[in-house]
Amino acid sequence: MVTQQEAARIEAALRAAQARSSGQIVCVLARASSHYEVMPIVWSALLALAAPWPLLVFTDLAAERIFIAQLAIFLIAIAALSLPALRLRLTPRRISRSNAHRAAIEQFVVRGLTHCAERNGILIYVSLAERYARILADDGAATAIDQSQWRAIVDRLTSQMKKGAVSDALIGAANECGERLAQHFPPHEAAAPAFQRFHLL
């Protein structure tokens, strides 16, 4: 994650980028987009269901002992696989990315970016556990600015983050988003809403 000092730098960069246009820019940095509690249960159940077969074939254990062994395997597996580091690894990439995408959309709505008069709000969403990053733009910004430009910003953002420069990557993305919005949505005389623009989850 980022330190308090880095968070302050990112917030300042977002406010500076915001000041260049009438568009609203918010950034959310999440540790993970989901807790993935279901996957340990699924894998533990599969292991427990498979356990009796080799015991039936290769041992003379009674049915009661096999049932106890099956139950023990389920409990041990669920305890081991419930470790946070393992939960995500057990989750198919398609599911983890779908969770991250859904979380990004939820944050876009929760942060009020659908309420901009010119429909020019954007969200920079990053989820570290899933290694997922996306820029969501409301209709006005999405129409004015081609999706390929947002994609290029995300590519540079993820490239920098792979090097461990999380705060610098987010600051760079904020600056680029501000530049793109400024080209199409010049600032208004009215001051932008004074809400927090950087959120750690």
Give tens-digit pLDDT for 103-156.
999 998 888 888 777 888 899 999 988 889 999 999 888 888 988 999 999 999
Write down the pTM of the prediction: 0.77
Q: Hunting for tokens 């699924």 — which residue is that? A: 42
Q: Average pLDDT in the 59-83 region?
A: 80
Domains of the chain: 4-34+93-200 (3.10.310.50), 38-89 (no CATH)
Q: Average pLDDT in the 39-62 region?
A: 79
**For position 27, what pLDDT does the model report?**
92
Other C-beta atoms lying within 10 Å of the C-beta of residue 56: 12
The gap from C-alpha 18 to its chain's centroid, in whole angstroms, comes to 22
**For position 134, what pLDDT does the model report?**
93
For the purposes of burial, counting CB atoms within 10 Å of the CB of 34, is it exposed (0-12), middle (13-18) or buried (19 or more)? buried
Q: How far apart are CA 34 and CA 100, in angstroms?
A: 8
Element (H, E) at 14: helix 4-18
Quickly state the pLDDT bin for 77 (edges 50, 70, 90). Answer: confident
**For position 174, what pLDDT does the model report?**
92
What's the pLDDT tens digit per position in 157-199? Answer: 998 888 878 888 999 999 999 999 888 888 876 655 556 788 8
Write the DSSP symbol of residue 127.
E
What's the pLDDT tens digit per position in 90-107? Answer: 777 888 888 888 999 999
Above 70 in pLDDT, residue 5? yes
| C-alpha separations of 146 from 29, 101, 173, 180, 185 in Å | 24, 20, 16, 10, 14
| Range among 2-6, 18-22, 87-91, 152-156 rated most confident | 152-156
In this predicted model, which residue has the larger pLDDT, 189 or 22? 22
